[in-house]
């Protein structure tokens, strides 16, 4: 009888103890999300109900009942049916530089020239005479399509040099004082890959296209350490509030020093892949690579990624390199940054040294130049693989490259129909930013004509060839808000809902595909698809809990969706 009582007592204890199930102790973990809709972003578009996290990594994905029964978490989050996705990975962003730029004169939403001038006038009151005034974000296509001039700025800032960069970063607007300091006059020649715009008398108008911006920007002091720190704090805050957990940043090698400081202070709440400058010599790129390696940073938190270069300009400024003239400017085919021969030479040299290369290419000519260069590199630097031996060697005894280089073209906005297939054949990644399409649609068809526009902003067509298409925002050219990226990808409409049915609607993606482009595909583009970009066992616990179910809501509701939780490296870094 006593034995029966003891057995019953033990059974009752097992039922009431929270960390014991069927006589077995529950596994202790740090975080459990349950009772939700978990979109894993795998190839099948699989969904689950719960995610178990221990430390930095995901340890289980499955049903709420199963995970609740198996795990005892320090922190539990009842999702109440909310959608969970991998954290957003911005595959193309000027993260720190963009944030620092917001601390200066911000003309991003200036709808008229008068409004832009008023903002400069307000800044004049804050600075001393002779002090530089800098800013960015103006868009002359909102002001009637005509470029502004130096005299517009002279009227509001006669005693201060002023330099304002267009929203796309490819055209500068300077006043007379800035031109004088830069010694730009009638006799100044435009540098290769650039143009000093002139009036009928030969005088510089103040508009400096592409590389000619450097004549003025070289005179402007770099941001102070205080500005850099403030910019970093602003950028990280925006990332947390938008569910961005990884960035592939084009702010420059020197930026890694500041990232390292924030990482050591445990304040770096994104994973950073920083890009080097394609323009630097191979020797300098290798020096930077070796120096960076000596710091022994955690590569999952901070690493060097691709080397970034420019082939041309932009459609908005009519500096994109085109195979034929712009439809609305019969004498203009854009501005390549350098000759095709020089570009190919530089690609081959950097590819040979094992650098991943990513090139800004907007126009169809620029995309072709980049593809031609990559093809030459593949031909000259190709490796004959062998399977014998204990080491990976090629037949002549040289160690073979362990990873396919995964070279990239950034933007890939206008592609000739015959070149889409070449992306796939050469294994080139098309890194695209859907927000550009809904910003540019106001004038894109007039620039390109009714036929060329069919090969523009064509992420769906690119994917149909099997090309990897990661998504980014190109902040500060566009908003850093990834929900705007998703909206543009699935609707092809501007934020007012125009046009009905979408602009070039054949390029729409499903929401599942769009999310995957902003998570898995972005991770693939930086060789990180085995550690992030999907919700699976062993992946880093970088997650976003959304206020709405992106997979079922109407497109217009995407723009008002926001994170409820942003989870980075296994811990909640933002809560609505």
* Check whether domain 313-384+395-469 has CATH 3.20.20.140, yes or no: yes
Each domain of the chain, given as residue ranges in start order, spans: 1-81+534-576, 97-217, 313-384+395-469
pLDDT for the residue 403 = 53
CA distances from 263 to 297, 300, 319, 561 (A): 9, 11, 39, 29
Reading the chain (576 residues) residue by residue, the pLDDT tens digits are 444 444 444 444 444 444 544 556 899 999 999 999 999 999 999 999 999 999 999 999 999 999 999 999 999 999 999 999 999 999 999 999 899 988 899 998 899 999 999 999 999 999 999 999 999 999 999 998 899 999 999 999 999 999 999 988 999 999 999 999 999 999 999 999 999 999 999 999 999 999 999 999 999 988 899 999 999 999 999 999 999 999 999 999 999 999 999 999 999 999 999 999 999 999 999 999 999 999 999 999 999 999 999 999 999 999 999 999 999 999 999 999 999 999 999 999 999 999 999 999 999 999 999 999 999 999 999 764 444 444 444 444 444 454 578 999 999 999 999 999 999 999 999 999 999 999 999 999 999 999 999 989 999 999 999 999 999 999 999 999 999 999 999 999 999 999 999 999 999 999 999 999 999 999 999 999 999 999 999 999 999 999 999 999 999 999 999 999 999 999 999 999
* Check whether domain 97-217 has CATH 1.20.1090.10, yes or no: no
**Distance from CA of residue 305 to its chain's centroid?**
13
Rg (CA), the chain: 26
Helix, strand, coil percentages in the chain from 3-state DSSP, rounded to 5: 35, 25, 45
Q: Do 410 and 431 form a contact (C-beta atoms < 8 A)?
A: yes
Distance CA 463, CA 556 (A): 24
484 token code pair = 């705007």
Q: Which residues contact 231 (CB under 8 A, 6 or more apart)?
A: 96, 97, 99, 100, 102, 103, 223
The helix or strand, by DSSP H or E, that contains position 242, with its residue range, turns out to be none
Q: What one-character DSSP code corresponds to residue 224?
A: P
Instruction: Find the distance separating the first CA and the last CA of the chain, reported in whole Å.
Output: 57
CATH homologous superfamily of 1-81+534-576: Urease, subunit C, domain 1 (2.30.40.10)
Distance CA 395, CA 58 (A): 42
pLDDT for the residue 250 = 96
The helix or strand, by DSSP H or E, that contains position 222, with its residue range, turns out to be none
pLDDT for the residue 383 = 63
**What angle separates helix 282-294 from helix 340-352, to the nearest 10 degrees?**
30
135 token code pair = 């800013």
28 token code pair = 């202790």
Distance CA 314, CA 301 (A): 32
pLDDT for the residue 31 = 98
pLDDT for the residue 382 = 75
Query: Could you tell me the pTM of the whole model?
Result: 0.89
pLDDT for the residue 14 = 42
Give the sheet arrangement for strand 133-138, strand by strand: 105-106, 133-138, 162-166, 171-174, 204-210, 194-198
Strand 105-106 relative to strand 133-138, pairing: parallel
Strand 47-48 relative to strand 37-39, pairing: antiparallel
């Amino acid at each position: 009888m006593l034995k029966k009582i003891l057995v019953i007592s033990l059974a009752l204890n097992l039922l009431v103890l929270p960390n014991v199930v069927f006589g077995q102790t529950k596994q202790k973990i740090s975080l459990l999300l349950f009772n939700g809709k978990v979109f894993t972003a795998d190839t099948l578009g699989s969904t689950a109900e719960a995610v178990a996290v221990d430390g930095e990594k995901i340890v289980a994905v499955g049903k709420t009942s199963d995970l609740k029964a198996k795990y005892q978490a320090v922190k539990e989050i009842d999702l109440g049916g909310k959608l969970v996705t991998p954290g957003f990975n911005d595959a193309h962003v000027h993260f720190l530089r963009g944030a620092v730029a917001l601390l200066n004169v911000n003309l991003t939403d200036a709808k008229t020239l008068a409004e832009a001038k008023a903002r400069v006038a307000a800044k004049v009151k804050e600075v001393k005479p002779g002090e530089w005034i800098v800013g960015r974000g103006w868009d002359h296509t909102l002001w009637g399509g005509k470029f502004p001039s130096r005299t517009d700025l002279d009227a509001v800032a006669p005693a201060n040099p002023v330099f304002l960069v267009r929203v796309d970063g490819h055209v500068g607007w300077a006043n007379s004082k800035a031109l004088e300091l830069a010694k730009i006059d009638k006799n100044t020649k435009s540098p290769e890959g650039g143009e000093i715009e002139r009036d009928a008398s030969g005088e510089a108008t103040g508009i400096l296209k592409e590389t000619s911006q450097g004549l003025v920007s070289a005179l402007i002091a770099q941001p102070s350490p205080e500005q850099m720190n403030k910019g970093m704090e602003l950028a990280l805050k925006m990332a947390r509030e938008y569910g961005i957990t990884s960035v592939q940043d084009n702010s420059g090698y020197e930026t890694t020093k500041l990232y390292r400081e924030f990482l050591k202070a445990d304040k770096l709440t994104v994973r950073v892949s920083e890009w080097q400058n394609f323009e630097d010599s191979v020797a300098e790129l290798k020096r930077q690579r070796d120096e960076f390696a000596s710091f022994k940073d955690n590569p999952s938190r901070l690493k060097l990624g691709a080397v970034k270069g420019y082939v041309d300009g932009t459609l908005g400024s009519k500096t994109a390199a085109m195979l034929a003239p712009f439809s609305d400017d019969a004498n203009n085919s854009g501005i390549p940054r350098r000759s095709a021969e020089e570009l190919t030479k530089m690609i081959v040299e950097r590819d040979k040294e094992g650098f991943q290369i990513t090139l800004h290419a907007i126009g169809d000519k620029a995309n072709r130049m980049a593809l031609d260069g990559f093809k030459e590199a593949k031909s000259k630097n190709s490796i004959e693989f062998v399977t014998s031996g204990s080491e990976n060697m090629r037949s002549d005894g040289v160690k073979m490259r362990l990873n396919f280089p995964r070279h990239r073209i950034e933007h890939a906005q206008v592609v000739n129909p015959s070149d889409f297939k070449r992306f796939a054949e050469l294994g080139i990644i098309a890194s695209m930013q859907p927000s550009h399409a809904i910003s540019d649609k106001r004038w894109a068809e007039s620039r390109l004509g009714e036929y060329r526009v069919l090969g523009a902003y064509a992420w769906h067509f690119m994917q149909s060839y099997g090309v990897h298409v990661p998504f980014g925002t190109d902040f500060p050219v566009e908003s850093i808000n990834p929900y705007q990226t998703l909206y543009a990808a699935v609707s092809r409409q501007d934020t007012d809902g125009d046009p009905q049915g979408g602009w070039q609607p054949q390029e729409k993606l499903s929401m599942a595909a769009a999310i995957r482009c902003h998570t898995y595909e972005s991770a693939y583009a930086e060789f990180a698809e085995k550690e992030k970009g999907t919700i699976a066992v062993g992946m880093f616990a970088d997650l976003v809990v959304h206020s709405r179910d992106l997979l079922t809501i109407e497109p217009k509701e995407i723009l008002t969706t926001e994170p409820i939780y942003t989870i980075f490296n296994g811990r909640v870094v933002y809560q609505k």
